Amino acid sequence: MSLLTPGIGLIFWMTLTFLIILIILGKWGWPVIIKGLKKREQAIKESLEKAEQAKEEMAKLTSGNEELLRKAQQERDDILKQAREIKDNMINQAKQQAQDEASKIITSAKESINNEKIKAMTELKKEVANLSIEIAEKVLQAEVSDKKKSEEIISKEMEKINLN
């Protein structure tokens, strides 16, 4: 049973050793351990704060990126709308110019046709007048000489006019 009940000398030396170790640890060990734990705690806090800041910055960047994306899409839509309007205006202007040119060409052609028609009518009138004068001259010359002959001349001249 001596193992279960220690002697007074053993208890004294064990208590003295325990107290010396406790004093040494209290003087030099615990402050170092506590200081290291506090440093670690501070580093963990700083890391958590930095992580939170990074998270906030990422949220800001994400919202900023979304805003930039929205603006870019709006600008793209505006540019496309302007391009469509410019295209439509160009097409309408081209159509209008083509219609104007066609109208000018048609008007010019009509004027040219009318001028040619007037010219042809004038030439025809001159030709008819010349033929009338020739017939009249021949009739007058024939009348003076013979009446039957003048009628033949008139008939011949009328046939020439009909043939031409």
- Which pLDDT does position 1 carry in this prediction? 46
Give the containing element (helix H, strand E) for 18: helix 8-24
What's the confidence (pLDDT) of residue 163? 60
Three-class secondary structure of residue 33 per DSSP: helix
Q: What is the pTM of this model?
A: 0.40
- Domain limits of the chain? 8-163
**84-118 pLDDT, tens per residue?**
999 999 999 999 999 999 999 999 999 999 999 89
| Mean of the per-residue pLDDT values of the chain | 86
Q: How far apart are CA 138 and CA 161, in angstroms?
A: 15
pLDDT in tens, 79-90: 999 999 999 999
pLDDT at 21: 93
Contacts of 153 (CB under 8 A, 6+ apart): 135, 138, 139, 142
Q: What are the tens digits of pLDDT across the range 52-66?
A: 999 999 988 888 888
Residue 61: what pLDDT?
85
Q: Is pLDDT above 70 for 72?
A: yes
